[in-house]
Structure 1
Amino acid sequence: MTQAAPLPAHPLTVAAVQATPVPGDLAGNAASAARLVGRAGGARVVVLPELYLPAYHPPTLAADPAGTDLAADGDGRVEDPRLDPLRTAARDGGTTVVVGAAVRHPDGRRTISALVVDPTGAVRAAYDKQQLWSGERELFDAGRRGATVVVDGWRLGLGICYDGCFPEHGRAAADDQAHGYLCPSGYLAGSAHRRDLYYAARALDNTMYVVFANAVDGADPWRFNGGAAVYDPEGRPLARGADTGEDVLAATLDPAALAATRAAHTMLADRLPDQGLPRTTLLA
């Protein structure tokens, strides 16, 4: 049984971004990320797509790891002057920014990570993607643990793209008392059905808000389909982007709506500790 965290005291405005980074141009993409944060209209949390800083472009990530990676120290801190515009945007806006990056750790691991830029401008590799998809396994190492970021009393679990396809990942965030789930992602054109189903389901499964950011446009075969969204705790979109074109989708997370949903849909409280176990097999 999951014990619910205290509800946040105040609403939280968040923004999900869909945008098209330039492969390999980490400095330029950091500057465009800063511009997009500025478009978010005072949102306290802004989520940008998976691998946004180097761009989700495997040929470039394979050919130029030195140019596309960011180095993290043993505590996950990232110091790189290419991120200065993004640090400034976070400080100026009083914003927590979650943005995708390729990170090199002191032990040599290379991960698909969610950087968190806090309102002081400090940058930390907060979460490393645990569920690697397809060819990602040839370039990256899997993350070892989940992570939760706290903003204004809101507990927000972190996931990256394919993580959100696993109900257990969202549930682990809920088990850590998350009120929401932030998912930088990179869904390719042709995947709109799954894109729109997975993250709405994670919201309803766990009666928590979901903020889904996605890359958009680009050139085949690495063309992405947008649809960035913020889902309420019943899986309804509060904001959703089109399948093409840059956009910043803002919505407000409401603690009263969260409380009402959890009072009406009590899956977290009702869940059995060994759901579905033991099992009986019937032969017909």
Structure 2
Amino acid sequence: MTPTVPAASLTVAAVQATPTPGDVAGNASAAADLVRQAAGQGARVVVLPELYLCAYHPPTLAADPSGTDIAVDPTGAVADPRLDPLRDAARTAGATVVVGAAARHPDGRRTIAALVADRTGVIRLGYDKQQLWGSERDLFTPGGRGATLLVDDWRLGLGICYDGCFPEHGRAAALDGAHAYLCPSGYLAGSEHRRDLYYAARALDNTMFVVFANAVGGDDPWRFNGGAAVYDPQGRALARGADEGTAVLVATLDPAVLAATREAHSMLADRLPSQGGPRVSINC
């Protein structure tokens, strides 16, 4: 784990919004508007929901893979012209954007991906979701590695939705030196308790900030519940959205808070190399 903390603060935005199923071009344009809104409030990192560019709508994803997928080349670069508005927004705002997409790899694999548009407007594959949920396994292949973004001197671990339900995933990011964990997500209506618990827990488990973006709205059974949030390293919400409606939640990640939390709550430093094992069974 990297022992240092960043030298300066970083302002981030967690977005909740309702994309249109199958409309990659329209959703990219809407994403560009949301990025500009966030940048207007000072955000330099903007996180949008899981599969935002195509919408998390399995019937559409199954019926039209060629129209909903974003092709990535062998280096991970994305050239799809439908994303030009998003490229322009990232470049003009000087913001790093993390946005969910269905990615089509050169070998034919289809993954739930976090694409990253950097401050120059270049878009590339950042991370493929490792923990697929339920029927996602019928449409997608799981990713095989974690990923950490470097923005200024902030290390930002990437996860997508169900990844964040596994303590080991957030811990792997923290052990790679992450100061924050970015999670584009798609939580369905009715899951509010788990939505609010998992990401606050990942923050406290690992004494790191968490930026949780979520889809909102849509039609049953694919209706999502918003609640996008930014959590501090003790799991307290710095900003939180309602269960309905579009929102851009902006918060500033303070390195002094990160340092003070890690000094007071030293779980990462105190973790035993063999934590959790070996174990013995005791008959009672």
TM-score (normalizing by structure 1): 0.98
Q: Residue in 2 aligned with 1:47? A: 47
1:48-70, Cα deviation, whole Å (9 max, x unpaired)? 00000000000000000000000
Contact 1:129/1:159 (8 A) holds in 2 = yes
> Residue 249 of structure 1 aligns to which amino acid in structure 2?
L
Q: Residue in 1 aligned with 2:282? A: 282
Distance of 2:276 and 2:127 partners within structure 1: 31
What is the number of equivalent residue pairs in this alignment?
A: 282
> Residue 172 of structure 2 aligns to which amino acid in structure 1?
A
| Aligned: 1:122 with 2:122 | yes
Matches within 5 A, 1:1-284: 3-40=1-38, 41-284=41-284
Among the aligned pairs, what percent are the same residue?
Answer: 76
Contact 2:148/2:178 (8 A) holds in 1 = yes
Distance of 1:251 and 1:160 partners within structure 2: 20
Gap runs ≥5 in structure 2 = none
Q: Give the deviation of 1:42 after TM superposition.
A: 2.7
Contact 1:132/1:162 (8 A) holds in 2 = yes
Q: Give the deviation of 1:276 after TM superposition.
A: 2.4
Distance of 2:207 and 2:275 partners within structure 1: 18
Contact 2:2/2:176 (8 A) holds in 1 = no
Where 2:35 maps in the other structure, the secondary structure is: helix
> Residue 194 of structure 1 aligns to which amino acid in structure 2?
R
Contact 2:189/2:223 (8 A) holds in 1 = yes
Distance of 1:50 and 1:276 partners within structure 2: 32
> Residue 22 of structure 1 aligns to which amino acid in structure 2?
T
Q: Give the deviation of 1:7 after TM superposition.
A: 1.1
Q: Give the deviation of 1:271 after TM superposition.
A: 0.3
Distance of 2:77 and 2:258 partners within structure 1: 33
Contact 1:129/1:163 (8 A) holds in 2 = yes
1:20-78, Cα deviation, whole Å (9 max, x unpaired)? 00000000000000000011023110000000000000000000000000000111100
Gap runs ≥5 in structure 1 = none
- What do you get for the CA RMSD once the two structures are aligned? 0.6
Q: Give the deviation of 1:121 after TM superposition.
A: 0.5
